[in-house]
Structure 1
Amino acid sequence: MRTVAPETLTDMLLSLSGPDTDPRVQEVLSALVRHLHSFAKEVGLTHDEWRKGLELLTRAGEISDGERNEFVLFSDVLGLSSLVDMINSPKGCTSSSVLGPFHILGAPPLPVGGDMIGDNEGPQVVVQGHVRDQNGAPIAGAVIELWQTADNGLYSGQDPEQPEYNLRLAMTTGADGRYAVSTIRPAPYMVPTDGPAGDILNATGRHAWRPSHLHFIVQAPGYRSLVTEVFPSDDPYLDEDAVFGVRSDLVMEYKPGERASLAPDIAARDRLDDDFSLVDFDFVLPPA
């Protein structure tokens, strides 16, 4: 170690891995170390800048809890989440998109056609579609998690005025692979800027706005799980998403709804406003 130098440190560190190291672990960590060391040398990283980076990570840990994950937000605003999604999205299937920092486990079950509007204000919409395989066949028993913002642009867990698990559900498809729910249109919102991820946005003059969207996780035995978002075509931030989550196949259309055309299992059909909208969106899953 007495001969360690900027030119030798990287290879010296990587040579310390033991013979039982998993090959994939070695590949990933080796690349990470090489890029980190190259980054530090390229920019001539100072002690103050190094400490500032550690402070950002420390603050991210302090601000993260069961309802907000600042490390996920870091990954989102730096484009890493979307890059990983795009690398791992198989062709011919629904694209992955960012999980976001506000997913909460344990969403309450809701039957197909169930109502999620409740006491929520905002334009009403029925969202429906099917979960299919790559051959177009319906997937029975797929579990869909859906979560979204309220009309004020906040998620339950962020907003103390919202009930626990407001505008969150878990729904299981039947033999026809169909899902359907009545809800409200989510609102565009700004990602949190009160933490270290916000510091990065502010330091680089970037806005924090996201287009409105519905979050989905779709899982079925024998198929790869899908984490994604669906965005309306008329949103003003569709091409300016702060976390790069929009994909062309994830854009939906809000169409004027017709009560007479709704399926009988839409629980809120007789309570919907006359100007409610309808969204049809299918998900295609690849085999596991």
Structure 2
Amino acid sequence: MTGTDQAAKAVTAAAVESFRDTPDPRLRELLQGLVRHLHSYVRELRPTIQEWEYAVEYLTAVGRKCDPTRQEFILLSDVLGVSMLVETVNEEGGGTESTVLGPFHVVESPKRESGDGIDLMSVGEPCVVALRVTSADGSPLAGASVDVWQCSTDGFYDVQQPDIQPLGNGRGLFRTDDEGRVWFRTVVPSHYPIPTDGPVGVLLDATGRHPYRPAHIHFIVEADGHRPLTTHIFVADGPYLDSDAVFAVKESLVADFAQVDEAERARAYQVTAPFRLAEFDIAVQPETNKDAG
């Protein structure tokens, strides 16, 4: 071991030791682990001072790009696979699989009643989404909160087009009925590129990666006594299912948006035929003692 290597390891040991007296044991564990892994990365790859300065400037630019309707740090976490990794290591199994929050859950969804429409533009292929929310054992969950958001048929969220889309377009906050069911009218969402006009776009361009996400609808489901679940449903047979820019596609979340031609079924859902129908069950995990504590 060279003198430089010894000195580098001494710096790491001192930095880890500096957090020894952190009162919160979990915070101490997280910070000491971060220091060990980050220092190991530096010792292995030996970034130059210029590269380190660029990294600092890059992260500063990411922070400056964040505002009330844009979360560039979440976007960076997404494209590095960290967001999906956090979801994966926290997965307990037994319910619907989770996936990433994404950078556009940045405004409060308007409260809506089951059967309402969330599309305020009347542009695109009509669609009905019918959900059933249950506990992991299959028992229906009445009164569960279902927060929904999606992009338009052109691939943009309301906050990306404030001069075109009214705020709240593609969003809704619903409650399930006594059978755990809720449904709403919308349009089939499009695949779309994540925003590339900021530092994340610079990263994708520099690495030759595409920015596209497959078509999907977001959900956050919350029910008393259960763990909150953040998930999507993805439109089957659409592009980019096998190369999602944020690594979030799971086979169990790919749903058939079937075409329905029957006028009677259309009337039941207050739409006209033909329309697309996605029926999907969402199961959430009961809270454990650890969750409750």
What interval of TM-score do these two structures reach, taking the shorter chain for normalisation? over 0.9
User: 1:18 offset after TM fit, Å?
Assistant: 4.6
Q: Does 1:226 align with 2:229?
A: yes
Q: Does 1:260 align with 2:272?
A: no
2:33 equivalent in structure 1: 31
User: 1:152 offset after TM fit, Å?
Assistant: 1.2
**Aligned 8 A contact 1:123 1:276 in 2:** yes
User: 1:60 offset after TM fit, Å?
Assistant: 1.0
**Aligned 8 A contact 1:117 1:124 in 2:** no
User: How far, CA to CA, are the matches of 1:109 and 1:166 in structure 2?
Assistant: 12
**Aligned 8 A contact 1:60 1:70 in 2:** yes
1:245 equivalent in structure 2: 248
Stretch moving more, 139-148 or 99-108: 99-108
User: 1:279 offset after TM fit, Å?
Assistant: 0.5
User: How far, CA to CA, are the matches of 2:234 and 2:200 in structure 1?
Assistant: 23
Give the TM-score taking structure 2 as reference length. Answer: 0.92
User: How far, CA to CA, are the matches of 2:263 and 2:80 in structure 1?
Assistant: 43
Q: Which structure's residues are more often helix, by fraction?
A: 2
Q: Does 1:276 align with 2:275?
A: yes
User: 1:61 offset after TM fit, Å?
Assistant: 1.0
> Map of 1:70-149 to 2, 5 A cutoff?
70-149=72-151
User: How far, CA to CA, are the matches of 2:267 and 2:283 in structure 1?
Assistant: 22
User: 1:105 offset after TM fit, Å?
Assistant: 3.4
| 2:196 alignment partner AA | T
**Aligned 8 A contact 2:19 2:32 in 1:** no
| 1:67 alignment partner AA | T
User: How far, CA to CA, are the matches of 1:178 and 1:185 in structure 2?
Assistant: 20
Gaps of 5+ in 2: 1-5, 288-293
Match of 1:158 among 133, 157, 160: 160
| 1:57 alignment partner AA | L
User: 1:135 offset after TM fit, Å?
Assistant: 1.2
**Aligned 8 A contact 1:120 1:150 in 2:** no
Partner SS state of residue 8, structure 1:
helix
User: How far, CA to CA, are the matches of 2:184 and 2:264 in structure 1?
Assistant: 16
1:205 equivalent in structure 2: 208
User: 1:193 offset after TM fit, Å?
Assistant: 1.1
Q: Identity over the aligned pairs, expressed in percent?
A: 41
1:183 equivalent in structure 2: 186
Stretch moving more, 96-105 or 70-79: 96-105
User: How far, CA to CA, are the matches of 2:169 and 2:79 in structure 1?
Assistant: 26
2:45 equivalent in structure 1: 43
1:207-251 Cα shifts (integer Å, max 9, x gaps): 001101001111111100011111011111100100001001100
User: How far, CA to CA, are the matches of 2:34 and 2:99 in structure 1?
Assistant: 23
Match of 2:199 among 196, 201, 205: 196
User: How far, CA to CA, are the matches of 2:30 and 2:95 in structure 1?
Assistant: 27
User: How far, CA to CA, are the matches of 1:106 and 1:263 in structure 2?
Assistant: 30
Partner SS state of residue 176, structure 1:
coil
Gaps of 5+ in 1: none
User: 1:260 offset after TM fit, Å?
Assistant: 2.1
